[in-house]
Chain A
Amino acid sequence: MSKRKAEDTSTDMAAGAEKISTKTNFNIGLAEPLKDYQKLIETKVQVDEIVDDEIIKNNFEGIAAAARDVIWQLLFAGTDGDGGVTTESQQKASELLEEYKGDATFYDPWEYNKWIGKLRDEVLAKELLDFWRNTIVKKQLGPCWSRDCDLFDSDSDTPPLEFYAHGGCTAPFAASLKVRAANNEIRASDASDPESSREAPEGEERSAERSADDEAAFTGVFDAVITRNQPLSEYRDLMSRFVLTDVIVPDEIQQASVKKIAKAAQDIIWQILFEGKPSQEDQDSAADLLQEYKTDSGFYGPWDYNEWIVKLRDEVLAKELLDFWREKIVKLELGPCWSRDSDFFENDDDVPLEFYNKAGCKAPFNPPADA
C-alpha cells in the first residue's frame, strides 16, 4: 500500500492553483469583448493545475454571466449606450456568442440553453433578422444538443428543431435528421427480418489441409523428409507446416518436431557432401541449408548444432573439401553458435575461435576486445 497520500501531492500541485481565486465579478468590456472573455477563460477556467472542480465551475458561471450581459448590451443597447446598434457591435456580439457557446458545450450547456431562448425572442422582437439568419441560425448557435456537446446523446435528447423554426428559417440540420430517421426505420425493419442473421465465416476459411497440418504439429506425428532436389525449400516447408503454426503446441512436442526436422537437415547435408564427389551446385545447396539450419538452431537451441558441426568440419577436412571449408563454413561463419548468432549466449561466453583454425584459416571475425 502506498504511504503517499493523494493529499500530500495535491497540496504541492495546487500551489500554483492558489492564484485561481473565486472572484465574484468578471469584467468584460465593450471595446474588445472577445479578447477579454478569452483571457478570463484562459486564466480562471482553462488551467492545467489541479483545481477543485467547484471553483472552476463557479468561475465559468461568473464569466458566462458577464458574457451574456455584454452580448445583450451589444445587441440591444448598442456600444454607445444610446440604443443605436451598429454593425460593428453586432459583429462583436456574434463573435463572443460563438466563442461562449463553444465553451458552454463543454462546461455548462444548461444555462446557455435556458438563456438562448430568451435572446432569440428578443432578437425577433427587435426584428434583428440579419443577426437571426446569419449568426444564430447559420452558425447553429441555438441550444446545445448531441451534435455539439458530450453531455447529450441521440436517444435521450430531442434535437432543438423548434428553436430555429422562426422568421422563415428552419434548423440547418433538419434535412440530415430526416435522412437519419428514414435510416432508422429501414434498420428497424431489417432487424425484425430473421433472414438478416448470417453465419460468420469464422475459422471455416482455413482449408482442410491446413488444419491437418495443425493437427500434425500439435501431436508431432509427421514424417520429416528432405531430398537432394530442393533441400532448403523442403526444410522451410517442414518448419512452416509443423513448427511455425498458430496453434498452441506443448513445448516438448514442438522441441521434438524441431529436432526431427534438424536431424533430416543434418542427414541430407551429410549425404550431399560425402556420398560421391559434390558438384559446385551440390555444395551451394548444402551450404544454403546449413546456413538456414544454423540460424534456426540459434533460436530453438544451439547445442546439437554446436556438437554436430565439429563432426561435419572434421569430415569435410578429411574428404579434403577445402573449397567448401574456406568458401562456405569459414566465410559464412557456419561454425558453432555463440553470442553473435544466438540469444542463448552472452558476451562473456566462450568465442569459438579455434574451430576455424584449420587448413590455414582463421575465424572470420575478430574476438571481442575484452576477450
Chain B
Amino acid sequence: MSGLRVRGLLALSATALGAFYIGSRTERERLQQSSDVFPRLPGLPSFGTVSAASLVPAANDANLTVSRVSQIMKYGFPGLDHVRSHSDYVLSYDRRNRIPHWVFEHLTEQSVARNDAVDRSKCDFKADESIHPFFRSQNTDYRKSGFDRGHMAAAGNHRLHQKHCEETFYLSNMAPQVGQGFNRDAWNSLEMHVRKLTKSYSNVYVCTGPLYLPHKGEDGKMYVKYEVIGPNTVSVPTHFYKVIVGEAADRKLHMEAYVMPNKVISNDTPLKVFQVPPETVERAAGLLFFDQINRKQLSSINGKKV
C-alpha cells in the first residue's frame, strides 16, 4: 500500500468520524433543549450505559432520560408487555385487567425524603390518556366500588420533584385495593418499610404488582376468582407483591419478597409474616424479577444468609 493511499484513507476516516461526532452532538443538544416535550419513551433495555459496578446517584432532573430508565431497570425487565416509562418509574400495563402487570422503582434516601417542594394536594387521580380508551380505567370505575385507587408505584417514593409525584397518580398506576386495613394501613406499612431500607442501602430497587391466586372451591377444585369493578371492569387482584433488592455500600445485594392478601389485615400483624420465597411470586405472577442477578450472588434473601 502506498503512503499516499494510506494518507487518503486516514483523511477520509477522520472526516467521517468527525461528521458522526458533530451529528450526534447536535442531536443530543436538540434533545436536551426539547426535554419538556419529550415523548413517553418506550422503556427498552439499554444496559450498555450502566455498569453494575458503580453506585447510581439519585437523578436530579425532573424529566425522563434514557439513562434514568436504565438505572431503574438495571436488573432486568420482568416482562415486556406494554411497557411505559414515566419520569421516575417504569410500568408494564395489563390491558385486559386495566391495571399494571408490574411497576419498577429505584429509590434512594434522597428520593424518599420529605420535600416541601412537593405538594400532595396538587396531585389528582387522572385517567391515563396514553392508554387506548378500551383499556383505560377511570375514576368512575373506582367510585363507590368499595375499593381504593391503590398506588403500585407509591407517591411517597417519588419526592424529588412535583412532576415525579404527580405521575404516580395516573390511573394506569392504580389497582383496586381494600382501603381501611390494607391500602391505608398494612400495605402502607410495607411501603414505609421499603422507604426505610434506603437508610441501610445506597440503592433500593423494588418491583410491585398484583396477583390473582387460585383457591379451593367447595368441590375441591382450584379456581381463580376475582371481582371486576366499574363499567370498564377493572380487575380486583386477590393479592399484591413487592420484590425488593437493596444494594449495600459494600456492593452486596439483599433481596426481600412479600405477598399480601388484598383484604383487611389486622394492625398488629408483623410484616415478616408476609415474606415468601421470591420464586413463589415469580411462578404466581408469570414474571421473573431481577433476572440479571444470579440468586446465588445475593447475600441474603428475606434476612437469611444465602
Q: Which positions in A face B, CB cutoff 8 Å? A: 2, 4, 6, 9-10, 13, 46-48, 50, 53, 56-57, 106-107, 110, 146-147, 150-156, 180, 183-184, 186-187, 190-191, 196-197, 199-200, 202
Q: List 5 A-B contacts (CB under 8 A).
A: A2-B132, A9-B132, A46-B143, A150-B149, A197-B272
Contact of A147 with B180 in the complex, beta carbons under 8 Å: yes
Contact of B140 with A154 in the complex, beta carbons under 8 Å: no
Q: State which residues 179-207 of B face A: CB under 8 Å.
A: 179-180, 183-185, 188-189, 191-192
Contact of A156 with B156 in the complex, beta carbons under 8 Å: yes
Q: B120 contacts the other chain (Cβ, under 8 Å)?
A: yes
Q: Given the complex, which residues of B lie within 8 Å of A57, measured CB to CB?
A: 124
Q: How far is the CA of A347 from the CA of B185 in the complex (A)?
A: 58
Contact of A6 with B131 in the complex, beta carbons under 8 Å: yes
Take A106-B139, A154-B184 as given contacts and tell me if A202 and B132 are in contact as well, using a CB distance cutoff of 8 Å. no
Contact of B140 with A197 in the complex, beta carbons under 8 Å: no
CB distance from A204 to the nearest CB of B (A): 13
Q: Given the complex, which residues of A lie within 8 Å of B133, measured CB to CB?
A: 6, 9-10, 13, 50
- Smallest Cβ-Cβ distance to A145: which chain B residue: B184
Q: Given the complex, which residues of A lie within 8 Å of B121, measured CB to CB?
A: 110
CB distance from B152 to the nearest CB of A (A): 13
Contact of A46 with B140 in the complex, beta carbons under 8 Å: yes
Q: State which residues 238-275 of B face A: CB under 8 Å.
A: 267-268, 270, 272, 275
Q: B277 contacts the other chain (Cβ, under 8 Å)?
A: yes
Take A9-B133, A9-B134, A202-B277 as given contacts and tell me if A150 and B127 are in contact as well, using a CB distance cutoff of 8 Å. no
- Smallest Cβ-Cβ distance to A106: which chain B residue: B143
Q: Which positions in B face A, CB cutoff 8 Å? A: 120-121, 124-127, 129-134, 136, 138-140, 142-144, 148-150, 156, 179-180, 183-185, 188-189, 191-192, 231, 267-268, 270, 272, 275, 277, 303-304
Contact of B127 with A53 in the complex, beta carbons under 8 Å: yes
Take A150-B149, A153-B184 as given contacts and tell me if A197 and B143 are in contact as well, using a CB distance cutoff of 8 Å. no
Q: Given the complex, which residues of B lie within 8 Å of A190, measured CB to CB?
A: 270
Q: Given the complex, which residues of A lie within 8 Å of B268, measured CB to CB?
A: 183, 186-187
- Smallest Cβ-Cβ distance to B186: which chain A residue: A154
CB distance from A99 to the nearest CB of B (A): 12
Q: How far is the CA of A106 from the CA of B130 in the complex (A)?
A: 23
Contact of B303 with A154 in the complex, beta carbons under 8 Å: no
Q: How far is the CA of A367 from the CA of B185 in the complex (A)?
A: 65
Q: How far is the CA of A27 from the CA of B124 in the complex (A)?
A: 26
